[in-house]
């Protein structure tokens, strides 16, 4: 099991330059986990694609249904104190610290492309590219 942030989820479901890395990460570890926060963040990302005309409503629906189906059994409500302990140790947002806190709580890695998380939490976070090359 790994924890993935919303960008890693988006790379898997929205075709682009990073999709091949997300697909490889899924091959390496098919059990992806995330805090429930990922839903709102993913909808925000899809909203941008929809409004810019890069995805139509059919594609957005496919992305939402696919991602929700994939993660439904591995979503977690992260206790606020765990999140705030990570906030206290870093300059990362509470949103980002929610992913870090979940990974620490599950005693696993957070797979991300977020440079700040990678810099501030090197023991917990691993880049998507590095994860796929291990």
Residue for token digits 């696919």? 66
Q: What are phi and psi of 53, to 5 degrees?
A: 75, 15
Contacts of 22 (CB under 8 A, 6+ apart): 8, 9, 11, 12, 128
Contacts of 52-60 with C-beta under 8 Å, sequence gap 24+, read 55/14
**Count of structural domains within the chain:** 1
DSSP, collapsed to helix, strand or coil, labels residue 4 as strand
State the CATH number of the domain containing residue 84.
3.40.50.1010
Full domain range(s) for residue 11:
2-132
Cα–Cα distance, 47 to 127 (Å, whole number): 25
> Mean pLDDT score of the chain, rounded to an integer?
97
pTM over 0.85: yes
**Residues 66-125: tens digit of each pLDDT:** 999 999 999 999 999 999 999 999 999 999 999 999 999 999 999 999 999 999 999 999
């Amino acid at each position: 099991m790994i924890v993935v942030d919303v960008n890693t989820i988006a790379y898997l479901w929205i075709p682009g330059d990073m999709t091949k890395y997300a697909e490889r990460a899924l091959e390496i570890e098919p059990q992806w986990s995330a805090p429930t926060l990922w839903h709102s963040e993913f909808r925000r990302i899809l909203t941008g694609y929809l409004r810019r005309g890069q995805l139509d409503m059919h594609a957005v629906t496919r992305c939402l249904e696919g991602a929700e189906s994939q993660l439904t059994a591995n979503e977690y409500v992260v206790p606020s104190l765990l999140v705030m302990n990570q906030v206290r140790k870093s300059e990362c947002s509470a949103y980002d610290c929610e992913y870090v806190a979940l990974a620490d709580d599950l005693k696993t890695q957070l797979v991300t492309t977020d440079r700040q998380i990678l810099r501030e939490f090197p023991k917990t976070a691993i880049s998507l590219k590095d994860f796929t090359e291990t």
